[in-house]
Structure 1
Amino acid sequence: MRWVVLLLLFLGQIINFADKSIVGLAAVPIMKEFDLSNVQWGLVGSSYYWLYPVTGIVGAAWADRIGAKKMLGILMLTWAVLQFGVLGITGLALLVAYRVMLGAFEGPFSPIAYSHANNWFPPKQRAFANSVVVSGATVGAMVVAPLLVAAISIFGWRWAFAFLGIASLIWFTLIQITSERPRDLEEKQSVAKKKLEKLNLKSFLILLSSPSALFTTLAYFSTYIFVVWISVWMPVYLVKVIKMSSVEMGYAVAGIGIVSVVVYVAISMISDSLFKRNQSWRISRVYVVGGSMIAGALLMASVIVFQNPVWVVAAMCLAKGLTYAILPIGPTIVIHLMPERGSLMTSILTSSGNIAGIVGPMLTGFVIDLAGDNTALGFNQSILFMGVMIMLFSILFSIYVKPDRTNTAAISPSGKIMDV
């Protein structure tokens, strides 16, 4: 059953990120139909994240109480309604409203999915399990890009969105065949519910400000700047700067997605193998992720110098795969800090990272417009900014995140954080 659950979480992430990325793939026809400027399009991209961080935390916290399976089903049904609602969009205001609502109800999915996978798999397999969930995001955002581009060109962008609503309904039906958790975790879940009543807000905030939680969150945040850029701006970058056709762009996006999945799944498996061998969080999780992110930042920055289409695609394949290592492994680190609040801890990580989604698209649009007719310069500046940020926070992550020393998950009834 654990593999059935993992497959469904993988498919759910495909739908989740297809919902996110289709707006970027449909950017040209949407901007043309509604006569949108780069700044207005940046507004459309960022609006998805206006409520995303808040609802991500609230929804995940609620999932800790009512169960992940039930909460995930509720989210999927809501996505379906919103995607069918796209058929009625007639202008910028409704487009922004749709994106705000979609982001609000998609915010909780990833943290709940990571926590759900964490419950179904043992520690030595959790990085791999989460990498499979994350790979669903890449498949949804990039690998299915040619299919989405074809649907947009054949049926129009509105009906392409509606097809994703149908996929949401199918997923909701399939999740009903699974159980909430493995039977051997029933007793542990009962204990966890008791611990939920003892959570002290002051101690919880102290936990969040600890170096392990803080710098894991910052590393995740820096990578998510890149995540959002890939979703909203990379299709435009490949067409306008690298001079690819729409078809070439679709295949390039798919190729980047496929290779990057192989890279970060391999990194996750290496991390799991090291953890199984030495049980060291710092060696197997922190150093592996930090080193990967540093290498990815360097490759990302290289496309500013070498803009040959073949190199750009190759560098983006590796940069995406290497920097994305924090996405599956970061949740395992923060859940380790407080296991009984797995969904809440992961939601804070992902929602804090998704704050990047609020400012990233609009900032990129502003930078591109500042460059005037030199669109390539604007995109290069945005890429350099992302590379420097990822490099900085990955170094801080490698230095200060030390999950082995203290498991700050144990919070006493009096509110004190106890070493374990």
Structure 2
Amino acid sequence: MMRWLVLAMIFALSVLNYADKSVLGLAAEPIMSHLHLNYDQFGLAGSSFFASYAIGSIILGTLTYRFHTKNLLILIASGWTVSLLSAYFVESFIGLIIIRVILGFFEGGTYGLCVAHIAKWFSNETRGSAYAIMTSGTTFGTYLAAPILVLLIGSVGWQHTFAVLGLVSLVWAVVFCFFKSQPNEPIQETIATLPSTQEAQFKDIIKILLNPYVLSVMAIGFVSMWINTWVLTWAPTYLTKIVGLDVQVMSIVFAGMGIAGTIFAIFIGRYTDVLFQKNKSLIKSYDKVLTVVLIIGAIAYGITTVVEAPILSVTFLAVGLIMNTCLLPLGTTIKTLIVPKNLIGSISGISLSITSMAGIIGPYITGYLITLAGDDIRSGFNSGVLIVVALYIISAVIILLTRKRKTTFTKNEKTITPVLVESVK
């Protein structure tokens, strides 16, 4: 029972995490009007968040090797509060950059800390579902929180809305203080030969990160981050200015996409868990599903660039975004199965810092393409979407080329080379 309560708290933190990220995009017009920003500057504000996000993911993620993840999670939630409440002091472009940089640093550690914390409470064969639930919080925060945030922004302004999110983060931190750091008894693994059941030295991190299969999983994270930042920064503008939806309808459409994405991601998480339990093979479970998701996503995003009817634009965009909700939990599960258990938080944090480069360059590139297109804003957005299509296709090819790499772990030498476990007897 306790592990599900812990998962519920991590889910809530994920909701807050992405609500904090998405509020910038939802408040784009009032912020740009208030601070007199152009598209390039606003895109840079979105990118600045992910610059510090990358730094925070390394520093806070690697701290899991020495400190309890519970205490680190409380720390980052408190950091969010400080950053968001500081919105009251923002009256310039530089001020906006500063609070987004602070928020980005503390949010950078969220993913690695949450992944490591859940790994303490759930076994290998159930992590697909657990991580799907955890990452569905990002979908809730991005999409389902939109109607509430839009209402708050319209009624009390963007600065008050930022502050409300900061106070909610503080409440979460206080409540989580009363939870245990880990289970009373270690979890029992039914598949004891996976790398995730072993431990390795901190110096082995470089070997793990340079493994081709781990790099391919990081590529998936890069693509997922690119889409997430596009959604957070530009999707509201795309739906209102290109598709032609008004703000309230846009928020409802956002919510609908979130509900569908959440349900589908949790279903896929459970489905891949069942496949893994049956086949004892990553290739025949998580890899197989991941490749199909990438192909479907690429097709859906590509079609959005050629259709003009609002219903078709929304439908195919929704299909693409729903596929994207599966990338993070699938990639996360694979990573936690091929990485030693004591390095999961560190590897997750470092890999996130690398994949977050997509968050740094993605929003700015899209903003640049829109500006470059001049009055033809649709053309600028379509160019950005075609980049996404290319990333999906490339990622699928990389997974197919690297998925048969194997892992070995020698206790005597205390070295590890992570690879895919094809079959566990």
TM-score normalised to structure 2 length: 0.92
Q: 1:380 aligns with which of 357, 379, 382?
A: 382
Cα deviation code 1:149-197 (max 9, x no counterpart):
0000111110001000111111112212211111222999xxx9x956x
Give the equivalent residue in structure 2 for 1:322: 323
Structure 2 unmatched runs, 5+: 190-195
Q: 2:202 aligns with which of 199, 204, 217?
A: 199
Structure 2 Cα separation of the partners of residues 70 and 204 of structure 1: 23
Which range moved further: 338-347 or 363-372? Answer: 338-347
Structure 2 Cα separation of the partners of residues 41 and 294 of structure 1: 32
With over 3 angstroms needed to count, the CA separation of the structure-2 counterparts of 1:215 and 1:258, relative to structure 1, is: same
C-alpha displacement at 1:19, in angstroms?
0.4
> Could you tell me which amino acid in structure 2 is paired with residue 171 of structure 1?
W
Which range moved further: 301-310 or 143-152? Answer: 301-310
2:91 corresponds to 1:110: no
Cα deviation code 1:50-96 (max 9, x no counterpart):
12112102101112311110000011111111111111111100001
Cα deviation code 1:345-369 (max 9, x no counterpart):
1122322221101101111111111
Secondary structure at the counterpart of residue 120 of structure 1 = coil
Q: Is the 8 A contact 1:139 1:257 kept in 2?
A: yes
Give the equivalent residue in structure 2 for 1:165: 166
Give the equivalent residue in structure 2 for 1:55: 56
With over 3 angstroms needed to count, the CA separation of the structure-2 counterparts of 1:136 and 1:186, relative to structure 1, is: closer
Give the equivalent residue in structure 1 for 2:65: 64
Structure 1 Cα separation of the partners of residues 266 and 312 of structure 2: 22
Give the equivalent residue in structure 2 for 1:128: 129
Give the equivalent residue in structure 2 for 1:363: 365
Which range moved further: 383-392 or 145-154? Answer: 383-392
Q: Is the 8 A contact 2:211 2:417 kept in 1?
A: no
Alignment of 1:4-403 (within 5 A): 4-185=5-186, 198-200=201-203, 203-337=204-338, 338-402=340-404
C-alpha displacement at 1:305, in angstroms?
1.2
Q: CA RMSD in A?
A: 2.1
Q: Is the 8 A contact 1:241 1:376 kept in 2?
A: yes
C-alpha displacement at 1:293, in angstroms?
1.3
Q: Is the 8 A contact 1:335 1:341 kept in 2?
A: no
Which range moved further: 16-25 or 213-222? Answer: 213-222
Cα deviation code 1:204-245 (max 9, x no counterpart):
323211111011111221221111101100001111111111
C-alpha displacement at 1:252, in angstroms?
1.3
Structure 1 Cα separation of the partners of residues 315 and 408 of structure 2: 40
C-alpha displacement at 1:127, in angstroms?
0.8
Structure 2 Cα separation of the partners of residues 414 and 125 of structure 1: 28
> Could you tell me which amino acid in structure 2 is paired with residue 52 of structure 1?
Y
Give the equivalent residue in structure 1 for 2:192: none
Cα deviation code 1:105-129 (max 9, x no counterpart):
1100111112211221111210110
Structure 1 Cα separation of the partners of residues 397 and 279 of structure 2: 23
Structure 1 Cα separation of the partners of residues 301 and 396 of structure 2: 14
Structure 1 Cα separation of the partners of residues 312 and 418 of structure 2: 51
Cα deviation code 1:237-289 (max 9, x no counterpart):
11111111111111111111111111222111111110111111111111111
With over 3 angstroms needed to count, the CA separation of the structure-2 counterparts of 1:414 and 1:16, relative to structure 1, is: closer
Q: Is the 8 A contact 2:302 2:385 kept in 1?
A: yes
Structure 1 unmatched runs, 5+: none
Q: Is the 8 A contact 2:64 2:113 kept in 1?
A: yes
Structure 2 Cα separation of the partners of residues 252 and 106 of structure 1: 26
C-alpha displacement at 1:343, in angstroms?
0.4
